[in-house]
């Protein structure tokens, strides 16, 4: 059987990556990842694929069109990645340790706004962009186990 263009594997020239601080509890890792990637689809609509439908024609929401790679690293790794993502002006989302103590979106934004860029206590970072640029941002991190 010959592959048609629709059957050929899709290779993306972009990457979605999440970098988590290695000392987070399992529930925190899941929570931070969910919050971080939620922002990408709202600001970078090309990352969202088509809606899903099952064999009974029940509709489901669209999801990312490509995998999300999850990495982990030290506090210092996150700080360096944050500096690199800012210098490359890539779409990004941050999650700080302060957000574990807030309970709503307004307070979350106020908690981030209250801290200068270089002093953010980052526990998570999401980034989207060209593969090579994202690879450079997460340099020094390792794949999440």
For the chain (145 residues), the mean pLDDT of every run of 10, in chain order, is 60 94 96 93 90 97 94 97 96 96 94 96 97 96 89
Residues in the chain: 145
Measured from the Cβ of residue 15, the count of other Cβ atoms closer than 10 Å reads: 20
pLDDT at 42: 86
Measuring CA to CA, which residue among 87, 60, 69, 65 is closest to residue 135? 69
Write down the pTM of the prediction.
0.88
């Amino acid at each position: 059987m010959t592959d048609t263009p629709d059957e050929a594997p899709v290779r993306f020239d972009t990457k979605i990556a999440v970098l988590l601080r290695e000392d987070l509890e399992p529930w925190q890792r899941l929570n931070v990842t969910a919050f971080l990637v939620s922002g990408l689809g709202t600001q970078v609509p090309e990352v969202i694929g088509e809606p899903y439908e099952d064999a009974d024609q029940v509709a489901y929401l669209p999801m990312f069109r490509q995998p999300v790679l999850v990495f982990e690293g030290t506090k210092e790794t996150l700080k360096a990645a944050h500096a690199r993502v800012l210098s490359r002006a890539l779409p990004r989302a941050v999650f700080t340790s302060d957000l574990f103590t807030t309970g709503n979106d307004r307070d979350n934004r106020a908690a981030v706004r209250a801290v200068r860029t270089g002093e953010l206590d980052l526990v998570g970072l999401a980034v989207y962009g060209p593969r090579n640029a994202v690879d450079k941002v997460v340099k020094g991190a390792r794949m999440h186990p």
